[in-house]
Amino acid sequence: MYFDTHAHVNFSAYKDDGEEVLKRALDNGVFVVNIGSQYSTSKRAVEYAHKFETGVWAAVGVHPVHLKKGSFTHRDPDELEEVEIQTSGEVFEYGKYLELAKDEKVVAIGEVGLDYHHFDPPRVDERSSSRVEAGEGDDVAALIKKQKEVLIEAIRLANEVRKPVMLHCWDAYDDLLEILQNHPVEKKGVVHSFIGSHKTAKKFIELGYKIGLNGIATYGESYDKLIREIGLENILLETDCPYLTPRPLEKGIRNEPLFVKNVAQKIADVKSVSIEEVGKITTENAKKIFDIDTSYFQA
């Protein structure tokens, strides 16, 4: 089995065939958590989960970039893909999210987190560094403050429903670590789409968090050292579909949960273990962190 722990089949890229895409994943031994990035997509993630008896779950949250209204071009770190993202200026309404979060199919609160990368102009160049210098303008300072406040609220929600967090973080790992230290999540969680150094990864692992790896890890050798340095017991697989299509699939092909096997293959190659071993251990990790019992699947 494999587990795509961070998918967005609840997004409009799958408006015509979302159920088919999920069925194709399940038929090929891939479990899926669909992740909300605002209220509407969170709600849709829960609805999708209920369409399947098991094998598909949901996470509900507000992506930090959605806290600001606007649109921006998103480029992945290896500059291979570019997408236009519209953001709505979402408000994190605790009560509304609490109602969603209580649902039995909801296995995590997220995605939530910090994203300093998409400020215009970018405030930091190095992907994994974080600190935004003081005095760079009220707008950026206010947005950072808002992202932090919402993240702390999301942690409060996670602790209220006793579920883990699904964390998004770009150019803000130091600040994220600080918040997790000062506002502990009882059930811990995942730092999804991790693109920092192995040293940074180890700091999150020490706090009890798992590291989510996706197609970015297949774009060349930049993340081979990270993959080698962290144990399989601390890795979760994900696609972040429809974005970040893993190689050797061609750029431009819409990503989907089934392709999580390409990410597994890359990790297997770097670690010189079988893809089955990667699938087995990372699926166990996911079941543990999401508190999911899938024993009836193996029958």
The minimum distance between CB 111 and Zn ion, in angstroms, equals 5
Binding piece for Zn ion, criterion CB under 5 A, among 65-73, 171-179, 194-202, 234-242: 234-242
The minimum distance between CB 243 and Zn ion, in angstroms, equals 7
d(CA 111, CA 35): 6
Q: Which residue is nearest to Zn ion (CB)?
A: 240
Binding piece for Zn ion, criterion CB under 5 A, among 45-53, 65-73, 239-247, 261-269: 239-247
Q: Which is nearer to Zn ion, 55 or 212 (CB)?
A: 212
Binding piece for Zn ion, criterion CB under 5 A, among 19-27, 237-245, 266-274, 277-285: 237-245
The minimum distance between CB 276 and Zn ion, in angstroms, equals 27
Q: Which is nearer to Zn ion, 115 or 153 (CB)?
A: 115
Q: Which is nearer to Zn ion, 90 or 240 (CB)?
A: 240
The minimum distance between CB 60 and Zn ion, in angstroms, equals 13
The minimum distance between CB 242 and Zn ion, in angstroms, equals 10
Q: Binders of Zn ion: how many residues, by CB under 5 A?
A: 1
Q: Which is nearer to Zn ion, 171 or 240 (CB)?
A: 240
Binding piece for Zn ion, criterion CB under 5 A, among 9-17, 101-109, 169-177, 233-241: 233-241
The minimum distance between CB 98 and Zn ion, in angstroms, equals 22
Q: What is the DSSP string of the chain?
A: -EEEEEE-TTSGGGTTTHHHHHHHHHHTTEEEEEE-SSHHHHHHHHHHHHTSSSSEEEEE---GGGGSEEEEEEE-TTS--EEEEEEE-----HHHHHHHHTSTTEEEEEEEEEE-TTSSS-S--STT---PPTTS-HHHHHHHHHHHHHHHHHHHHHHHHT--EEEEEES-HHHHHHHHHHS--TT-EEE-S--S-HHHHHHHHHTT-EEEE-GGGGSSSTTHHHHHHS-GGGEEE---TTS-PPTTSPTTSPP-GGGHHHHHHHHHHHHTS-HHHHHHHHHHHHHHHHT---GGGG-
The minimum distance between CB 22 and Zn ion, in angstroms, equals 16
Binding piece for Zn ion, criterion CB under 5 A, among 20-28, 70-78, 235-243, 267-275: 235-243
Q: Which residues would be at the binding site for Zn ion (CB under 5 A)?
A: 240
